[in-house]
Amino acid sequence: MKTSIRMLASLVALVLFCLTITEGMSLSGISVEPRCRCIKTESRRVGNLIAKVEIFPPSPHCKDTEIIATLKTHEDICLDPNAPWVKRFIDKLLAKKN
């Protein structure tokens, strides 16, 4: 009787271990940031230097809207979404898209 209980406990432990490993592996393939991408934001005008802009809306991992600009020098910077020039820049960008 003791052997079957030990065997069952070992089997349950093995199954739980396998489930833990496979769940961790499935989450590692997902590109989810566990925190905000932007630590600090830039409010100075860099409009002429911008090559590409990415906008990330608030998410469970970050309550802020993040605007990441790639400059022509291939440097990524975070723009301050509350800066007036950034708001105008994004409005123009969205108007072009529509």
Residue pLDDT, tens place only, 47-98: 889 999 999 999 988 999 999 999 999 999 999 999 999 999 999 988 988 7
Residue pLDDT, tens place only, 9-47: 667 666 565 556 655 544 445 555 578 999 999 989 988
Residue written as token pair 């271990």: 17
Phi, psi of 62 (to 5 degrees): -150, 125
